[in-house]
Amino acid sequence: MPSERFPRLLAGVHVIAAREGTLLTTRTGHYRGPAELHPLLHRISPLLDGRTAESALLAMVPEPRRLAVGRCLDYLEYSGALRREERPRPEDLPDQLLAVADLADPADATPYERCAALLAAAASVSAPADWLPLLDSSLRQLSVRAELSAAPDVLVRIGGTAVALPSDGGRLVEPTGPVERAVIAAAVAAEAVGRFLGRPARPLPAAGALPGLDRSGPRTSADAPLLEAWPTSDQLQALLLDPSTLLPTGQLACERPAAIRPIEADAGPGVPEWLLAVLRCVHVPLRWESGDLAHSGGWAHRGLASARGLYPIELYLVTDTGAWYVEPGELRLLPVSHPASEGSGPAGLGTRFTLVLTARETKVSYRYQRYATRLCLQEAGLALAAIGDAARTTGVEVGEVVELAERGRSGFWGELLDLGPDERPVGRVTLDPFMRFGSRSAIDRHLDLVRRRHSGHRVFNALGADRLGRLGSLPAELAATPDGTLKSYLVVHRPCLDDAGGRWEPGCYRVAEKGLMLVRAGLAPTEQLQRGQDAMGWLAPDYAAASATVIVAAPIGEATADLRRLHAATAAAARVAHRVLLVTAAAGAAGRIHNSMRGDVTAAVTGDARIAALFQLIVGCPGPDGTISVGLG
């Protein structure tokens, strides 16, 4: 008789119900399983916890279904989604560590020992004094205790594995500021833990090449397409109703431009504290993600959501004495022109503060070609909303203006800001700091909430998520922001609770003057979303595993009349999307913007064929996903 086994679903398994079967993505590849696998897996996944014996699990299944469930386990094991462990999972292993251990070679010995050994080990950390607290705090967030000592080079050793950052590798000698240091320290800590847990080593980024902060590439991608300056109404309709037609079919060979506008200039005046407080919420990396899905071994996420973290929106500060590029991360002001003080030394900061937002198109088009138009407008809207939100919390009077000016150095802004040939103004925020400075605790609370916002890759696939979803104050927030032109919907995928004690059953609800009105009860809208998306194959979200989807739409004619109208409508929708992201974070869930919704799917789900979705956000509570997020600063 074979010994008892304890089946455990591995982290990072993505399952979706597609038209002709179940699509399964695991560490070992893509698999197409039978259609019955998806519903069955959703039913039994809470029991695939590594604690329930296989015999006990099968005993819970009615006799006629046992064979099918046994085969399902065999298939999941074969496809690398499940391990049959020889002993039950110990109680004291943090889920997050286990998820990271799962990313190691699945053929290796059980990961329980690795995690237990990690918890028992103390890391020894030697580094320059200004690195020590950062490394210590990053490791502590990963459940690792550290013994610290000062040294010229960075070295983190846990048991037999070590991660070193030699000073002669250019990493410590570059002009590395406190934010860059914090990001690299987080990456080093995550890498040390990953290696200890058996994950293959990955290269560490140098300060100048940090994902999201790199300034090593060219200012503009020379071979990336420039977008039509003024697309026709038909082109805009395609952009909204069938975006896949504009996406490149294969990998493009365009050069990737630098993430940060590379400027050879010494920093200008210091940024005043009230403005730093605002910019920290928008323009600074707040988390380090080092999962399997993160790009090039890691990803520095800013407070602002950006598709694939390409961050096309640049910020400039313009006052009555000058104009400066606001460098993301360290938030240095780099002079771009000195109208008031030319030839008389560096300008002071002056008064009358305006932040000008530009979109550097090739940062997105090098990868997404003409589809970049949509992403740039969406991100401009999100940035306007996020800056405005943070500024109001800081007690600053704000005026947000959506605009579209010419590209490059032509035009007023182009000359003043020395814009690149692929860069055009997309908006402006005027800030009046002289009203009152908000309370420190309100600002800190806001930054903390922004830090908690994350898109959670696995929100697409929250296998084993709670049966009841958490919506927090989302329904109330949506109801409080009806808009004359926009049409917003909440599609509930599983029974959910809100903050006010309300229970939301599956169905599609429209945001109306009087609150949320039921359009259609039941799971039909969820199924329509799911079916509409499975054309995306392995990348599609699994709506059945999420709590809800928010759709913010506008009448097609209005939104696609011309680019300016689309920009204004997108920015209005972005204000709602931004609130949804923060409210979701406050509820302890994740909200992920994704654009894959086609016009016919929007029409089927909402029952209104005259609208186009400007934003779509999936909300859910993904389980531990094998990525490590490290708080910064």
Ligand X SMILES: Cc1cc2nc3c(=O)[nH]c(=O)nc-3n(C[C@H](O)[C@H](O)[C@H](O)COP(=O)(O)O)c2cc1C
Residue of 248, 390, 262 whose CA lies nearest to 328 = 262
C-alpha to C-alpha distance for 6 and 28, rounded to whole angstroms: 21
Select 337 or 595, whichever has its Cβ closest to ligand X.
Answer: 595
CB of 14 to ligand X, least distance (A): 11
CB of 197 to ligand X, least distance (A): 23
Select 79 or 373, whichever has its Cβ closest to ligand X.
Answer: 373
Locate all alpha helices (DSSP H) within 130-175, ordered by sequence. Answer: 132-140
Select 308 or 503, whichever has its Cβ closest to ligand X.
Answer: 308
126's tokens: 């030697």
Please, are residues 462 and 621 in contact by the beta-carbon 8 Å criterion? yes
Select 232 or 244, whichever has its Cβ closest to ligand X.
Answer: 244
CB of 313 to ligand X, least distance (A): 10
Half-sphere exposure of 583 (CA within 13 A, CB side): 22
CB of 320 to ligand X, least distance (A): 33
Please, are residues 498 and 474 in contact by the beta-carbon 8 Å criterion? yes
C-alpha to C-alpha distance for 594 and 592, rounded to whole angstroms: 6
Per rule CB under 6 A, is residue 578 in the interface with ligand X? no
Q: How far is CA 483 from the centre of its chain?
A: 26
Mask for 371-410, x = binds ligand X (CB under 6 A): ----x--xx--x----------------------------
CB of 55 to ligand X, least distance (A): 39
Per rule CB under 6 A, is residue 235 in the interface with ligand X? no
Neighbour order of strands in the sheet with 629-631: 299-302, 285-289, 629-631
Contacting range for ligand X; rule: CB under 6 A; set: 5-13, 436-444, 461-469, 594-602: 594-602
C-alpha to C-alpha distance for 603 and 611, rounded to whole angstroms: 7
Select 301 or 579, whichever has its Cβ closest to ligand X.
Answer: 301
Select 279 or 382, whichever has its Cβ closest to ligand X.
Answer: 382
CB of 454 to ligand X, least distance (A): 4
CB of 285 to ligand X, least distance (A): 9
Per rule CB under 6 A, is residue 137 in the interface with ligand X? no
Select 219 or 594, whichever has its Cβ closest to ligand X.
Answer: 594
Q: How far is CA 515 from CA 509, 578, 605, in A?
A: 9, 19, 19
Contacting range for ligand X; rule: CB under 6 A; set: 157-165, 175-183, 342-350, 592-600: 592-600
CB of 476 to ligand X, least distance (A): 23
28's tokens: 């070992």
The phi and psi torsions of 517 (rounded to 5 degrees) equal: -110, 135
CB of 243 to ligand X, least distance (A): 8
Residue of 339, 331, 376, 334 whose CA lies nearest to 358 = 376
Per rule CB under 6 A, is residue 420 in the interface with ligand X? no
Per rule CB under 6 A, is residue 490 in the interface with ligand X? no
342's tokens: 């030319």
Please, are residues 100 and 194 in contact by the beta-carbon 8 Å criterion? yes
Strand, helix or coil for residue 4: coil
Select 382 or 463, whichever has its Cβ closest to ligand X.
Answer: 382
CB of 378 to ligand X, least distance (A): 4
Q: Name residues contacting ligand X, limited to 297-356 (CB under 6 A).
A: 301, 305-309
CB of 29 to ligand X, least distance (A): 20
C-alpha to C-alpha distance for 627 and 298, rounded to whole angstroms: 9
Select 349 or 573, whichever has its Cβ closest to ligand X.
Answer: 573
- Cα angle for residues 57, 62, 64 (degrees, 5° grid): 120
Residue in 32, 595, 607, 624 binding ligand X, rule: CB under 6 A? 595
CB of 443 to ligand X, least distance (A): 21
Q: Name residues contacting ligand X, limited to 50-69 (CB under 6 A).
A: none
Select 26 or 306, whichever has its Cβ closest to ligand X.
Answer: 306
For 257-351, list the strands marked E by DSSP.
Answer: 285-289, 299-302, 313-318, 323-326, 333-337
Half-sphere exposure of 52 (CA within 13 A, CB side): 15
Per rule CB under 6 A, is residue 283 in the interface with ligand X? no
Residue in 215, 360, 424, 592 binding ligand X, rule: CB under 6 A? 592
Select 369 or 378, whichever has its Cβ closest to ligand X.
Answer: 378
Contacting range for ligand X; rule: CB under 6 A; set: 57-65, 119-127, 423-431, 590-598: 590-598
C-alpha to C-alpha distance for 113 and 120, rounded to whole angstroms: 10
261's tokens: 């506008």
Report the run of H or E that residue 591 belongs to, with start and end: strand 590-593
Q: Which residues of 325-349 are buried (b: 16+ CB within 10 A; e: fewer)?
A: bbbbbbbbbbbbbbeeeeeeeebeb
Per rule CB under 6 A, is residue 598 in the interface with ligand X? no
The phi and psi torsions of 497 (rounded to 5 degrees) equal: -110, 150
Residue in 455, 528, 560, 570 binding ligand X, rule: CB under 6 A? 455
Amino acid at 378: Q
Residue of 241, 247, 244 whose CA lies nearest to 557 = 241
Select 132 or 187, whichever has its Cβ closest to ligand X.
Answer: 187
Select 454 or 510, whichever has its Cβ closest to ligand X.
Answer: 454
Mask for 184-223, x = binds ligand X (CB under 6 A): ----------------------------------------
The residues binding ligand X (CB under 6 A) are 301, 305-309, 375, 378-379, 382, 454-455, 592-596
